[in-house]
Chain A
Amino acid sequence: MTMTQTLKPAVFHILLALAEGDSHGYAIMQAVREQSGGRVPLQTGSFYRHLSTLMAQALVAEAPAPKQVEDSRRGTHYRLTPRGRQALELERDHLASVMAALKHLKPSPRRQG
């Protein structure tokens, strides 16, 4: 098995969710679940662990709270740092090259067991 992704799936999805705009913890977690169709299992504990790592790597930072609060419950908002956006773009380029390489692969008529 060769690595097809440089980012862990959960990390990739968190960055992707934040690329669409600043958000708070629960919303990010829900976005990850939706984006991945439930394939990336995230719970509060694991989510914040990833978040903490991402903040330590300066890919994600705390964001100022938005002006109008659409949710009654306050929570810290997070945003993607330029470094984080860069990491996501690198990932996109990487995946694009993987896809390009795979384009030459002919679909096999029957799967080999």
Chain B
Amino acid sequence: MRPGARTPRLAGACYDVLLRAYPSSYRARFAADMRDTFLRDLSRVRHRGWLAVIPFWIVTIVQAVWFGSAERHASGAPVSTPPSSPRFRLTLLSDIRYAFRLLARSPLFAVTSVVSLSLGLAAATVIFGLADALLFKASPGVHDPSAVVDIGRSTNGSGSDNMSYPVFRHLRDHTTTLAGMSGTTFDPTPVSLATGETSERVFGQLVSASYFAILGAQPALGRFFAAAEDVTPDARPVVVLTHRLWRERFQSDPGVLSQPLRINNTMFTVVGVAGPDFEGATLFGTDLWIPMSMAGPIRGFDAATVMESPRAVWLTAIGRLKPGVSAEAAQTELNTLLVNFRMTSPQVPDSHGIVVTSSGRLPAMVRLPFQAFIGLLFVLTAGLLAIACSNVAGMLMARATARRREIATRLAIGATRGHLIAQLTTESVMLFGLAVLVAAPVAMWLMALLRAFVPALPFPVLIDLAIDLRSMGFAGGVALLTGLIFGLVPARHALRTDLASALHGQASTTARDRQRLRHGLVIVQVALSLTMVITAALFVRSLLAAASIDPGFSTQRVDVVSVDTTLARAEGQAGVSLIDRVVARLQTVGGVEAVAHSKMIPLQGGGMGLGWVRLPGADDQVLRVLNESDWDTVSPDYFSVLDMPIVAGRAFTNADRDGRPLVAVVNEAFANAAWPGQPAVGQRFWQADNSKEEGRPIEVVGVARDAKYRYLGEAPRTFIYVPYAQQPQSGVTLYVKHQPGRRALADVRQAVITEEPGLPVILSQSLEDATALALVPQKIAAWVAGSVGVLGLFLAALGLYGLTAFLVAQRTREIAIRMALGATTRQVRSMVLHRAGWLVLVGTVIGLAAAAGIGTLVESMSLLIEIQGTDPLSFVGLSALLAAVLFVASDLPARRAARTDPALTLKAE
């Protein structure tokens, strides 16, 4: 609440609204003073923190509504000023007042309902906030975002992937359905921005000249790219800065436009600065934009190849639909254009198509798994909310039944049904309203917990995880809707009363109907909570299994430091000697025990390919497996630093350099697939750049033990290691192993900069943290499903307890008569439990089926580790646990029923 002046004004305005609850005579006398007193009191309370402010507001609202309507009654006629249905307002106010009084009279019911509803609402609000930040919201600063589309390449009609520049150019030049089409890269590229002697790592995004026009962005300074600047490769080094970089790095100096910038050792000219709110099309943050034609110095590509080869797939595209054109129409047109392009360029496979989807904060390429995962979380939290709602509905219904006599009396003396419905619904809506107030701080707290799960990513992510007005609006809407529904149903049932029998205190014939509804609610609760606890168990067991999986390498005492040699203008063998120098320097840092490097960090969910594998004489089946192999370029010490055993042959040595025969180390899975039953060491395979070429021979010099490469839970996969010195890649991850207790990451970073000022460190963290990334979805899912499941089980138990207690209360007379006639307590107990048992059984069967569905689904999303989606232990164990909890919940009232003294009961009746 920093802007001190704004909040009191807002609070004052809110209080003015509340004051309208009072009659005008009262207002004329006290309103101004009350407002003043209230504001002073509020500022006093605010010093004690927001935890004190919330109850303060609740009391204020309750008092205003209550006393206001009391004063209105006292002052006689409704003296409200505007003639806009004063009668209705009076009724509403007295309804609210009445409802409050009823709730205050049964605090246990009120507190239980509000607490359970608010937990369900808070959970749903948090997941909505997450979905909103990732899926629903448009990127800021984008004009008319609904017309912006993501354009990607599909394979056999599914997926959205990178395409090649020639394909992109053909589509861009010939489309008539799109007003413009711009290339872009999926994630921003780290680049080095040099000033003076040192350079720093910033992120740059390659875009077409039309990028800004398509998104409707405006420059704050200068201009965006001209079409001519995005034609000839490497010809026009121009750059547009984000407003943030301009502010933070250049102190908002307008002179930046005439100042040359050295990016990756190439001099660029700043032509413009984007507007302050524009951050690009997606939530992947960037610092500057560079035309596609400058892909060479930025990505370390050979520009002539990447701009002309249909095989080099490295960019994705966005476009703006012309008015009145649908995304489907654009997709149809672009696919036709692709077919035309294939006529002249047969290298584009038939299986490739173009997919056009509406644009969002997440690029189309990764949206699907996020959608599925958030959808799963949504289902879980909606389940919790449904349990809480049906619980409250059950309680409301019981209360409505208990008030049957009152309702019948009021109907008999002439109250309208409409008014009674309004009154009963008011009560439930108010419960839900209170729940929203309680849910707000809970949701904020949960969101803070969730933020802690967001892992460190190799590039900036512009995601704003907070409970904002949209999320609270969602919570309020859900609460109002569910409050109306779950209030109307019991109200309707209460009103379908046979007046005569109700007045005599007897259950009417419609009671059976009502009972069926309550039974249904209990079944739903049991089924939902069982589904959730089983889902939670699957994820918890996955995490346990993950903890016991041997990844095949050791993360102990190893830090990873990522660099990119292109940023220092060192490619190929120049990069090799640069990395050699950096490694030598790192070995002199105090505490460092050993240094190795590779291109890929394991367990990041992805892999690298370095071409096709050829093996003369191998059948297609084997070749398909071998061509699925991931590759990595590693240093000689890689295997020893990561503690990966070489089970046959040798690791690489410094002699495996450029100009020497090409060698490889393969893993056991590769050796077994390629040469079953034979020693792999000494064998040869061929590495080809495309499917037509024969390729270069590579000799296998060693076999490494199988490890986990992409995910902890993956099936064994074939893997090929080649020496970095023979096949250098620009991206290098250094593994720095330190002596026990002598971690010196800062010194390591400093040593890299000292050795080569132009080589910025892109990422540095412990290998343990880096590989922990692989378990983030499971951790979130286990956490959400676990807390939601336990709560759900608790609420279901509460619901069943309430129902059984209610049934017992209804059948007091029957039980008493039975006992008077000689029924044993055992018989009475089993009679009561019989009903509860049936409901639990039906609910359990439905719950097991639903859990099996979710289990199969998450298994297909490869979120489970070494556990099946229908893991018997989870299913049987949790059903038993659920049954035990529910037995206790329903046995308590049953025991009480059995203890009743029949004589006393019958006398009372």
Contacts and interface: CB of A to CB of B under 8 A. Distances in A.
Interface of A: 24-26, 29, 43-49, 51-52, 73, 75-76
A51 to B, nearest CB: 8
Interface string B14-35: 0000000000001001101110
Q: Which of B37, B63, B66, B70 has the most CB of A within 10 A?
A: B37
A26 B41 CA distance: 8
Contacts of A48: 30, 33-34, 37
Interface in B35-89: 36-38, 40-41, 56, 59-60, 63-64, 66-67, 70-71
Given A24-B33, A52-B30, A76-B33, A44 B67 contact: no
Given A25-B36, A26-B37, A26-B41, A43 B60 contact: yes
A45 B60 contact: yes
B25 to A, nearest CB: 10
B836 to A, nearest CB: 39
Contacts of B30: 48, 51-52
B41 A43 contact: yes
B485 to A, nearest CB: 32
Contacts of A47: 37
B36 A26 contact: yes
Contacts of B63: 43-46
Nearest to A53: B74
Q: Please classify how large the interface on chain B is, using the bins under 10, 10 to 19, 20 to 34, 35 or more.
A: 20 to 34
A104 B40 CA distance: 46
B41 A29 contact: yes
A52 B26 contact: yes
21 contacts: A24-B33, A26-B37, A29-B41, A43-B41, A43-B56, A43-B60, A44-B34, A44-B41, A44-B60, A45-B67, A47-B37, A48-B34, A48-B37, A49-B67, A49-B70, A51-B30, A52-B30, A52-B71, A73-B40, A75-B32, A75-B36
A24 B60 CA distance: 20
B83 to A, nearest CB: 26
Question: Which of B26, B36, B66, B71 gathers most chain A CB within 10 Å?
Answer: B36
A24 B63 CA distance: 21
Give chain B's interface secondary structure class.
helix
B63 to A, nearest CB: 3
A25 B59 contact: no
Contacts, number: 51
A48 B68 CA distance: 11
A75 B67 contact: no
A8 to B, nearest CB: 15
A79 to B, nearest CB: 15
A26 B59 CA distance: 17
B67 A25 contact: no
A43 B66 CA distance: 13
Given A45-B34, A45-B60, A75-B36, 14 more contacts: A24-B33, A25-B36, A26-B40, A26-B41, A43-B41, A43-B56, A43-B63, A44-B38, A44-B41, A46-B67, A48-B30, A52-B71, A75-B32, A75-B37
A73 B8 CA distance: 14
A13 B531 CA distance: 57
Given A48-B34, A52-B29, A75-B33, A43 B67 contact: no
Nearest to A42: B41
Contacts of A43: 41, 56, 59-60, 63
A73 B40 CA distance: 10
B41 to A, nearest CB: 6
A87 B30 CA distance: 24
Contacts of A73: 36, 40
Q: Which of A24, A29, A49 has the most CB of B within 10 A?
A: A49
A76 B32 CA distance: 9
Contacts of A75: 32-33, 36-37
A45 B33 contact: no
A24 B29 CA distance: 14
B29 A25 contact: no
Contacts of B38: 44
A3 B202 CA distance: 78
Nearest to B21: A45
